[in-house]
Structure 1
């Protein structure tokens, strides 16, 4: 009940501020990632808004809740079968501003609570990043920075780099780390994207295992996918995703982030569908 109350309160706070926003979107996504030994399925809901602060600055906020379910199809020794459901509540606050006409900086602060079923203050972790964007020409932009992220599972400091090239009004290239994307839109209603991203997450366990001191479950992978977004009516969009997870890992870590158990789940494909409302 406490977890539900906190989640509902966070969403309520987000909705109460909608009148002050200039841009708003809400999304609901479903994703499945079966592997040789374990099947993963995730439901995600997010609310986003952004607002300009004068002519040079703006703020943005994304409130997100996700639920991950794990099905251990091949688990003969019943290892950690109780670890079949994980939750995350995350709020990403972003502030960006112009330094010069062609240079911008952006700061993001991301408090996140990652837990199984019992939400505790110790489950809260603060992530974030700092990025500098430099426009080299009307079509070419360079982004560099660093952040504390969970793209490799447990929180770590990682570099951020991207080279963005807008070929024309229909085609855009963004090549970098941890995300790359090639997007093409043949009209106002269709958008096709080929993406590659390093991504991961971590979850604090409700009870520490006395045999091996496991405190976290962590997942990480590199995902290559083809995505399609369709504007179906007015402010409503449908999106579809099909791809493959490479180097997919699912491990248990101790309090010092040392690996103490590897599920050896193997790689697998990813399928997703979602609906978005934006204005």
Structure 2
């Protein structure tokens, strides 16, 4: 009930969520109904352009995040007090540059603390670094964009970099799609301010266990990691040119959650079942002056 009230409250706040672009955002995600744990993630942040010219843009920002796990005791055979609540905050830099009429470059670097803060202090293991480098090539005759690069980001629950590849095409004023990994989407715009969007995307979580957790009467140090691949449908509405709101839901087609030691060896596999996904969000967008193509 507490999580439901939080989700309803967020729909009344006029700042929102943004995985891409420069914005002030607030987001609430929930994964209810698994046989291991319900997961609720609340996140707020800002990405503000401090250089915003026709050719390049430098963005500075950060976020705060709380991730709560409500475990089903009968399915987790040890005490979960130490791994029920994680907090994170980060500092992030983003850079975009138009290299030519066809090519553009995007870089991201982020330092992030993500921990259960079991000892009420920040340890070196609580600190993570995320980065990405992406090139885009625009094809004017086909009205399409190829994107390729790589990213390392603990938001996916993985400890290794993954490829970023996508083909984006604008069919007409109403339809556009993006085929790729870790994110694929198709959008149907029913008017200037309303659209529906189907998506297949990778999501996850990583948090350091700041104090040892006892598993089968042995104490372990390490991280809690979760990775999900979600299929879903969302509805987006924009108003006053700079505000957007979104509601989306879906179902995980792949779901894993593990405790790992610092050598990435498995300590415990929760073996969660697939479950439903819900997201409510708002965002306020900052104007972009860069002449980088965006077809989606």
Short-chain TM bin: 0.7 to 0.9
Query: CA separation of 1:181/1:62 partners in 2, compared to 1, >3 Å: closer, same or farther?
Result: farther
Alignment-derived partner of residue 266 in structure 2? 259
Report the Cα offset of residue 222 of structure 1.
0.2
1:4-83 alignment runs, 5 A limit = 25-34=23-32, 35-75=34-74, 77-83=77-83
Whether the aligned pair in 2 keeps the contact of 1:150 and 1:199 (CA below 8 Å) is no
SS of alignment partner, residue 82 of structure 1: helix
Whether the aligned pair in 2 keeps the contact of 1:151 and 1:198 (CA below 8 Å) is no
**1:140 equivalenced with 2:140 (yes/no):** no
SS of alignment partner, residue 74 of structure 2: coil
Query: CA separation of 1:176/1:62 partners in 2, compared to 1, >3 Å: closer, same or farther?
Result: farther
Alignment-derived partner of residue 165 in structure 1? 169
**1:87 equivalenced with 2:87 (yes/no):** yes
1:217-228 alignment runs, 5 A limit = 217-228=224-235
Report the Cα offset of residue 153 of structure 1.
1.5
Measured in 1, the distance between the counterparts of 2:122 and 2:149 equals 31
Q: Which runs of 5+ in 1 are unaligned?
A: 1-22
Query: CA separation of 1:153/1:269 partners in 2, compared to 1, >3 Å: closer, same or farther?
Result: same
Report the RMSD for the aligned CA atoms in angstroms: 2.1
Q: Which runs of 5+ in 2 are unaligned?
A: 1-20, 287-296
Report the Cα offset of residue 95 of structure 1.
0.7
Whether the aligned pair in 2 keeps the contact of 1:154 and 1:257 (CA below 8 Å) is no
**1:120 equivalenced with 2:122 (yes/no):** yes
Which structure has more relative contact order (CA 8 Å, sep 6+)? It is 2
Report the Cα offset of residue 163 of structure 1.
0.5
Alignment-derived partner of residue 14 in structure 2? none
Specify which of 265, 269, 275 is matched with residue 276 of structure 2.
269
**1:101 equivalenced with 2:89 (yes/no):** no
SS of alignment partner, residue 75 of structure 1: helix
Alignment-derived partner of residue 185 in structure 2? 181
Paired residues in the alignment total: 257
Query: CA separation of 1:144/1:236 partners in 2, compared to 1, >3 Å: closer, same or farther?
Result: closer
Whether the aligned pair in 1 keeps the contact of 2:129 and 2:153 (CA below 8 Å) is no
Measured in 2, the distance between the counterparts of 1:100 and 1:28 equals 34
Moved more, 106-115 or 67-76: 67-76
**TM-score normalised to the size of structure 2?**
0.80
